[in-house]
Amino acid sequence: MNKKAIWAIIGLMSAAVIGVVVLQMDLIRTAVKVNEERFEKNVFAALNTVVRRLEAEENREVFQHSINGFVTAYYEEHDNTGEGKPEFTLDYSGEDGRPMLSPKLSHSSLLDELMAEFANPCTCSQCMARKDNTYRSLMVYFQQNTREFPLEQRIKLQHINGVLKQELGNRGIDTDFNYGVFSREKKSFIIVDGHYVVEDAQPKEILPGYRNIYNSRYKVDLFPEDMPSPGLLMIHFPARTSYVWRSLWANFLGSVFFTAIILFSFTYTI
């Protein structure tokens, strides 16, 4: 075989190897991008679910405490006046159709009636309007009660820790993370990694240890039904890159290994 043929073969083999490497790198870049998008989508889905669960838990507790407080205060007032203990029910006879408490039912019966109102399967216009009015009235009452409390009192540490880990785990995210609850009113973190934190009353900047969390792209509004939202839930993944690449290392190392075999065989043949 003359030299021209040998150099032609060398050129073709070199082009083939370079082409294979370029294609493999392109496939790996595409796979990394897909993994990053999937990771980001799952993180935001988990955070939004956490926010909904925190809000649902607060609504449940506020509803219970609000009704308890209302009934207790009403009982005490009537005890002091000697009128005896009244009973309550929902009255829809008002002009605007909004539910009002009237003295007919006991506390437990009132809760049962409210729950039955939402569970009523009837879809007629009158029943749907009553459900809507009941819901709107309760939401306004809830918001008036919850706004009286600072953000740190509206979130239970154990609850948010458990819910956050559960929702991330449900989506296959098992890498380490740091999270924080940022108060818009205080302009500082009030909770970081399951602990209450205390910053200056008027902080000039975020403390160095919290900057990674603060600068993270993964953040959602807390209690978005409030206008405006009182704070943000933020999360940072220190090993995010390793997690995204975790499922690709086998393919990457395999590509390098087989490309090395081709190069070795080609060099040895020459």
What are the per-10-residue average pLDDT scores of the chain (270 residues)?
74 80 83 91 96 86 61 50 48 49 50 64 79 68 64 87 94 94 90 81 64 94 87 94 81 76 71
* φ/ψ (deg, to 5) at 179: -135, 160
**Residue at a domain's end among 129, 151, 173:** 151
Q: Which tokens belong to 10? A: 């060398």
Residues 160 and 31 occupy one common structural domain? yes
Residues 176 and 247 in one domain: yes
Give the C-alpha separation, 219 to 209, whole Å.
Answer: 17
| H-state helical runs in 93-248 | 107-119, 125-146, 151-154, 157-170, 211-214, 240-245
DSSP secondary structure code for residue 269 in this structure: H
Output the pLDDT for position 167. Answer: 96
In this structure, the chain runs to a length of 270
Q: What pLDDT is recorded for position 67?
A: 57
Q: Are residues 48 and 111 in the same domain?
A: no
What pLDDT is recorded for position 111? Answer: 56
| Pair 243, 12: CB distance under 8 Å | no
Q: Are residues 116 and 145 in the same domain?
A: yes
pLDDT reported for residue 137: 64
Estimate to the nearest angstrom the gap between the alpha carbon of 60 and the chain centroid. 19
Question: Which domain covers residue 213, as residue numbers?
Answer: 1-55+155-270
Instruction: Assess whether 159 and 261 both reside in one domain.
Output: yes
pLDDT at 101: 47
What's the gap between Cα 40 and its chain centre? 12
Give me the residues paired with residue 231 across strands. Answer: 183, 222
pTM (2 d.p.): 0.64
| Upper half-sphere CA count for residue 247 (Cβ side, 13 Å) | 13
Task: Retrieve residue 140's tokens.
Answer: 């306004």
Q: Among 127, 151, 175, give the residue marking a domain's end.
A: 151
Q: How many domains does the chain have?
A: 2
Query: Is residue 97 located within the same domain as residue 164?
Result: no
Q: Could you give the 3-state DSSP secondary structure of residue 224?
A: coil
Residues 6+ apart with CB under 8 A from 226: 143, 146, 147
The answer to whether residues 137 and 232 belong to one domain is no
Is-cis flag, bond preceding 203, omega within 30?
A: no
Phi, psi (5° rounding) for residue 244? -65, -40
